[in-house]
Structure 1
Amino acid sequence: MPAVETRIRSVLDRFSERSDTGSITFALSTPHNGWSMLYESEKPEPPYFLGSATALYTAAMIMQLREEGALSLDDPVREILGDDVVASLHVFRETDYSEHITVRHLLSHTSGLSSYLTERRADGSSLMTDALARDRGWSIEQSLSAARSMRPKFAAGDPRRAHFSGTNYVLLGLVIEAVTKSTWSAAVVERVIGPLRLTGTWPFRVEDVDRYDSVSPLRFEGREVRLPFTLASLRAQGSIVSTAEDGLVFLRAFLSGGLFDAAYLLEMTSHWRRAANTLEAGIGIARFVVPRFQRPGPGPRVFIGHPGETGSALYCVPSHGLYISGSINQVADPSAVHQLITTLSSVLPPHDTRGMPAAIPSLS
């Protein structure tokens, strides 16, 4: 694919020249024909923060626990975590739905819970704007307390609605800890990182803040920001550090049955709900659909996987059997990485059925 690779590198070159992006690293691969490429704007390229693409790692562990019979997706979270954790977490129009929230609701972002991290408070600020002004971090209890202070978006389990919320993955992290009798960080190492031999991947904890400078710096509105305690506080919703090449290994395993029963993927991807502009929520996975009016060419429109608010992307193009992993390392504009994905779609051929992953035949 020399011509396509040249066009891909040209797109990535243009984004690396922007003042609002950090260093850029991307790995792409089509396993069916053995093609792959690695782009690095800096050499050697350090690992980067996945941000909310960490959700795929958390979802993989939930599916493993489901396969082991340790939990069901329809288990009420209250039964796993106890009344004290979920009490008054979801009060919508004077009705308390807290005890009705299930594991499935959290995975599919249909709980209705507001995102404690990014939702704006009455004064227009948010926990994230606080963090950008002064990096201090927070506890799980503080994140749930913040969520309690926010009005939910809709009744828990509304079949018509979805809303991406980091609060959902805070709770899923607690579910994993309660069921495994382990910390989330230890569980992800034992269940995902270790078995896949992801040597450049680890969960970033408070104990790891002295390693912060070994990770790609993040940019915000054209300047570098330091967020070690903030990123360590994200845990199950966003604390994984990884590399582009490790991301390809992980995503292929996630979508092929290498981490949990591949039959679950049909359920995880059978129904999509619009949750944020061009982003849709499945169960433990997201789908980005390039708007027709934004697509500059006949390339693919459907990408499944997950983005990160740190500028990361873990996506598969089902119509091409193409896997994409990388980051632009910026936290100012959550849509920026999708601008890149949209531009990349314009340099890809319209269709290549040879590469379609067997487990997800109908997503394109």
Structure 2
Amino acid sequence: MIGKLSLLVAATLLTQTFPAHAAQDSLHRAAQEIVDLGATGVQIRSVRDGRVRTVAAGVADLVTHEPVSTEGRFRIGSTTKPFVATVLLQLVAEHRIRLDDPIEEHLPGLLPDGKTITVRMLLQHTSGLYEYLRNMPLTSDDFPKYRFKHFEPEDLIEIAAAKPLDFRPGTAYSYSNTNYVVLGMLIERITGRPWGAEVTERIFLPLGMDHSSAPGDRIRIPGRHARGYQQAGRSLVDVTEMNPSLAGSAGALISTTADLDRFVRALVGGRLLPRTLFAEMTRPLPFTGGYALGLETRTTPCGVTVIGHSGGIPGYGTVAFASLDGTRRVLASLTFGHGPGDDAVRALVDKVVCA
């Protein structure tokens, strides 16, 4: 799936005297629990008040049994969306586009309802656009048919545009990757450059995210990485190699936990957006379940408001969240095997953010 793994943090804030070695042991236990629940591997990076801890568990390869590296690269799935949203908001800051512009104004004829769907609605999943992945679910037995196929963004939009809207634009929330495929096309229309080139130029290079990339049609993950698996019946299929154009600007990026940490730290630290636009980015509507403009936002039971995004793509799951003051951050990559489910991922984030 290219979809979000919801963040529902529910843990008790420990005292400031909690020993450092105990925190590291707790992180190891959290990682191992994910593997015990069916993941082939996991790596976690936790930052608390400037102290960085990294752990890994499981194996990177079921054949060689190589251990998971805490520096390995991985596909980040829908954690791509905050990068795309940040570029769009930078273009807003440059007065090259407005949040409430109808998409028809910039991409005429692309969407039948383009006159009523705005940039803001696309960013917040309130456009009502049909989810194109309903026609090609990535967890189905049909995945091998399109695993290595090249898709133009227009191909994906055509699937959605042929279907009626799920609801009248602006009146409800429904997570749809179609929104962010349109936004990728919008970035290219405004800048004259592919969305991935803009993410690289505006975010990767300034932040020193040297191990992050927009892969285009490249099927392999560069550098050291854990292999990703997908369940097919009772067996596991290695799906590490795939053409990520199927995900495009909705979920194709590759990164590391250290690089994702650079991004979330810079975002909450005001290095990427003016304060007013960051406030827009983190302000959900009452009916969006905490989803704002490319970010999931939530005030946890420990009293800490966190923002970020989670993601999934065949073989890989990602979480990247930070508190609004940047003092607590959690970045993790899971390689799926026979699990785990969303509940286990939520529990992992619970333990890291609120420990």
Settle same-fold status: TM greater than 0.5.
yes
> Among 252, 255, 258, which residue is 2:271 paired with?
258
CA deviations on 1:189-229 (whole Å, 9 max, x unpaired) are 111111111011111211x2244685432222362332644
Q: CA RMSD in A?
A: 2.7
Q: Aligned residue for 1:155?
A: 168
- When residues 195 and 343 of structure 1 are mapped into structure 2, their CA distance, relative to the original with a 3 A threshold, is closer
**Pairing of 1:119-158 with structure 2 (within 5 A):** 119=134, 121=135, 126=137, 129=140, 132-134=143-145, 135-137=147-149, 138-158=151-171
SS state at 2:131 partner: coil
CA distance in 1, matches of 2:333, 2:269: 23
SS state at 2:247 partner: helix
Q: How far does residue 348 in structure 1 lie from its aligned partner after superposition? A: 5.9
Indicate yes or no: 2:87 matched with 1:53: no
The letter for the 1-side match of 2:226 is S
- When residues 136 and 57 of structure 1 are mapped into structure 2, their CA distance, relative to the original with a 3 A threshold, is same
SS state at 1:205 partner: coil
- When residues 224 and 245 of structure 1 are mapped into structure 2, their CA distance, relative to the original with a 3 A threshold, is farther
CA deviations on 1:100-152 (whole Å, 9 max, x unpaired) are 111101001110112101x2x5xxx6466366233133221220111123332
Q: Aligned residue for 1:188?
A: 199
The letter for the 2-side match of 1:102 is T
CA distance in 2, matches of 1:109, 1:265: 18
Q: How far does residue 3 in structure 1 lie from its aligned partner after superposition? A: 2.2
Q: How far does residue 299 in structure 1 lie from its aligned partner after superposition? A: 4.3
Q: Aligned residue for 2:40?
A: 22
CA distance in 2, matches of 1:332, 1:283: 33
Q: Is the 8 A contact 1:312 1:329 kept in 2?
A: no
Runs of 5+ unmatched residues, structure 1: 89-96, 291-297, 351-364
Alignment length (residue pairs): 318
Q: How far does residue 285 in structure 1 lie from its aligned partner after superposition? A: 0.9
Q: Is the 8 A contact 1:114 1:151 kept in 2?
A: yes
Indicate yes or no: 2:341 matched with 1:336: yes
Q: Aligned residue for 2:94?
A: 68
CA distance in 1, matches of 2:276, 2:306: 20
Q: Aligned residue for 2:219?
A: 209
The letter for the 2-side match of 1:233 is L
TM-score (norm 1): 0.78
Q: Aligned residue for 1:323?
A: 329
Q: How far does residue 302 in structure 1 lie from its aligned partner after superposition? A: 5.2
SS state at 1:263 partner: helix
> Among 294, 304, 308, which residue is 1:305 paired with?
308
Q: Aligned residue for 1:287?
A: 297
Q: Is the 8 A contact 1:74 1:102 kept in 2?
A: yes
Q: How far does residue 330 in structure 1 lie from its aligned partner after superposition? A: 2.8
Q: Is the 8 A contact 1:232 1:239 kept in 2?
A: yes
Q: Aligned residue for 1:91?
A: none
Q: How far does residue 238 in structure 1 lie from its aligned partner after superposition? A: 0.6
- When residues 38 and 131 of structure 1 are mapped into structure 2, their CA distance, relative to the original with a 3 A threshold, is farther
SS state at 1:98 partner: coil
> Among 19, 35, 40, which residue is 2:51 paired with?
35
Q: Is the 8 A contact 1:77 1:102 kept in 2?
A: yes
CA distance in 1, matches of 2:264, 2:322: 8
Q: How far does residue 173 in structure 1 lie from its aligned partner after superposition? A: 0.2
Q: Aligned residue for 2:9?
A: none
Q: How far does residue 156 in structure 1 lie from its aligned partner after superposition? A: 0.9
Q: Is the 8 A contact 2:41 2:68 kept in 1?
A: no
Indicate yes or no: 2:117 matched with 1:101: yes
Q: Is the 8 A contact 1:80 1:178 kept in 2?
A: yes
TM-score (norm 2): 0.80
Structure number with the bigger relative contact order (C-alpha 8 A, sep ≥ 6) is 2
Q: Aligned residue for 2:4?
A: none
Q: How far does residue 230 in structure 1 lie from its aligned partner after superposition? A: 4.0
> Among 2, 13, 18, which residue is 2:32 paired with?
13
Q: Aligned residue for 2:282?
A: 269
Q: Is the 8 A contact 2:220 2:240 kept in 1?
A: no
CA distance in 2, matches of 1:331, 1:104: 36
Q: Aligned residue for 2:12?
A: none
Indicate yes or no: 2:236 matched with 1:220: no
CA distance in 2, matches of 1:147, 1:114: 5
Runs ≥4 residues deviating over 6 A: none
CA deviations on 1:15-47 (whole Å, 9 max, x unpaired) are 12333x2321111112xx321111123343520
> Among 55, 60, 69, which residue is 1:44 paired with?
69
Runs of 5+ unmatched residues, structure 2: 1-19, 58-66
